[in-house]
């Protein structure tokens, strides 16, 4: 079980629980086609983002397999919400998890995704005691792949046309990191 002490603070960021006041900031990037291009969802209207936000507001702990922790990524110096990160507990028996992240394009290229995702790895390995954490992505999403590589994750698979996403067959890349690699400083 993981009940993180929120907000989780990094050098430049606060990772905190979502709240209803985050609707405009969340919608500002979830409504964009360039953000959703490689993700499972299409650009959202405000009502859909509201439903997404309601779900995110409830996901603040990992109590059992299948739970998902969703945190808002906030720039500490401005208080602006610039993205979100998720840590999923995918298997209790095998001590497995998965990380994900979405960042508003206006804030890309500053290392925020890497900084926030590094904290998810710490929470997963050090807080939840996971053995292995993966990151899965559309293989065309080279920017996201670079984030995972900067975290020390290794590319383990390239699955050809394994998913039908938004009407097209897509390749998936799978990256992973083991707890012993994390402890050895792979990050």
**112-122 and 142-150 helices, crossing angle to 10°:** 50
Tens digits of residue pLDDT in 114-161 = 999 999 999 999 999 999 999 999 999 999 999 999 999 999 999 999
DSSP output for 35-57:
HHTTSSSPPP-HHHHHHHHHHHH
Domain boundaries, the chain: 8-183
Q: How far apart are CA 99 and CA 25, in angstroms?
A: 21
Q: How far apart are CA 59 and CA 54, in angstroms?
A: 9
Q: Say whether pLDDT at 186 is over 80.
A: no
The side-by-side arrangement of strands in the sheet containing 132-138 is: 8-9, 13-16, 68-75, 81-91, 96-103, 132-138, 168-178, 154-165
pTM, whole model, 2 decimals? 0.95
Percent of the chain having pLDDT more than 70?
A: 99
User: Regarding beta strands 96-103 and 154-165, do their DSSP bridges make them parallel or antiparallel, or are they unpaired?
Assistant: unpaired
73 pLDDT band (50/70/90 cuts)? very high
Instruction: Select from 8, 1, 40 the least CA-distant residue to 136.
Output: 40
Instruction: Select from 143, 121, 145, 123 the least CA-distant residue to 133.
Output: 121
1 pLDDT band (50/70/90 cuts)? confident
CATH of domain 8-183: 3.40.630.30
């Amino acid at each position: 079980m993981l009940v993180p002490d929120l907000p989780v603070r990094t050098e430049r960021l606060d990772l905190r629980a979502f709240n209803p006041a985050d609707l405009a900031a969340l919608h500002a990037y979830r409504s964009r086609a360039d953000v959703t291009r490689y993700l499972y969802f299409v650009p959202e209207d405000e009502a859909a983002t509201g439903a997404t936000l309601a779900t995110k507001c409830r996901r603040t702990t990992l109590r059992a397999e299948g739970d998902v922790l969703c945190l808002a990524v906030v720039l500490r110096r401005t208080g602006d919400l610039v993205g979100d990160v998720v840590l999923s507990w995918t298997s209790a028996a095998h001590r497995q998890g998965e990380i994900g992240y979405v960042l508003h394009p206006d804030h890309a290229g500053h290392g925020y995704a890497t900084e926030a995702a590094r904290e998810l790895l710490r929470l997963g390995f050090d807080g939840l005691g996971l053995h292995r954490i993966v990151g899965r992505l559309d293989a065309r999403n080279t920017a996201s792949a670079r984030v995972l590589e900067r975290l020390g994750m290794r590319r383990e698979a390239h699955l050809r046309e394994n998913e039908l996403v938004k009407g097209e067959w897509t390749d998936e890349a799978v990256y992973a990191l083991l707890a012993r690699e994390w402890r050895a400083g792979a990050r």
